[in-house]
Amino acid sequence: MSVLIAPSILSADFAALGAAVAAAERGGADLIHVDVMDGHFVPNITIGVPVVASLRRIATVPLDVHLMIDDPDRYIDAFAEAGASMISVHAEALRHLHRTVHAIKALGAKAGVVINPATPIVAIQEVAADVDYVVVMSVNPGFGGQTFIPRSESKVREVRALLDSVGNLAPVEIDGGVDRSNVACVVAAGARIVVAGSAIFGTADPERATRELKAAALGALTAPATR
């Protein structure tokens, strides 16, 4: 599998989301990452179902919806109906993670499970065969523009090994603090979906930033191992 670039609109101008998505797509975005926050699971509040429905009308690539909310079971139907192709939920937010993963799949969306920096990988061990992707948070969720937590690189390797051990080819997604300086390392570690917010929409030219990040990510697939 190649590497997919998923620009996070969290760092875009919310008054011009259509233009932001179009620029990222011109730069080669493979997915659009949508960060949903409720002010409870994380301290910040962002966007909800109506915005996803509007984005679905203008985006030409799939929407990767990251739910940073308490009780996500209450909302997965609505996000799927609004046009989310991928829905990820936090292991920390769910008592019945296996049930939720299968509920997302039953709605026709891809089911992702997210783990925070402090969450051990064993938290997803029993659903490793069921998930369509695993998101490794490389910052504590809630805000864009934070610094990449170095331990995340080895965590990507360990999640990849877990998925391989159960014969699941599902990709590992990395989310938080990724930019051109570290994308090669996370791809070399096994990440195949790369989320980037400020590294794309925090720049003057998001189209170019997307293109350059993608080139750096793809370059890491062909580069000889450095360690």
Tell me which residues touch ligand DX5 (CB under 6 A).
8, 10-11, 33, 35, 66, 139, 141-142, 144-146, 175-178, 195-199
* Separation between Cα atoms, residue 178 and residue 183, nearest integer Å: 6
Phi, psi of 76 (to 5 degrees): -65, -35
Give the catalytic positions in this structure. 35, 175
Q: Which of residues 49-108 bind Zn ion (CB under 5 A)?
A: 66
Question: Shortest distance, CB of residue 179 to Zn ion, whole angstroms?
Answer: 15
Cα separations in angstroms, 154 against 12, 140, 158: 29, 16, 6
Count of residues interacting with Zn ion (CB under 5 A): 3
Point out which span in 31-39, 70-78, 95-103, 162-170 binds Zn ion (CB under 5 A). Answer: 31-39
Cα separations in angstroms, 141 against 73, 80, 153, 220: 19, 22, 17, 26
Question: By beta-carbon distance, which residue lies closest to ligand DX5?
Answer: 197
Q: Which is nearer to Zn ion, 100 or 138 (CB)?
A: 138
Contact 93, 41 (CB under 8 A): yes
Question: Shortest distance, CB of residue 41 to Zn ion, whole angstroms?
Answer: 12
Q: Which of residues 129-158 bind Zn ion (CB under 5 A)?
A: none
Q: Which is nearer to ligand DX5, 109 or 148 (CB)?
A: 148
Question: Shortest distance, CB of residue 173 to ligand DX5, whole angstroms?
Answer: 10
Contact 32, 50 (CB under 8 A): no
Of 163, 172, 97, 160, the C-alpha closest to 134 is: 172
Phi, psi of 133 (to 5 degrees): -165, 160
Q: Which of 4, 12, 30, 35 binds Zn ion (CB under 5 A)?
A: 35
The footprint of Zn ion (CB under 5 A) covers 35, 66, 175
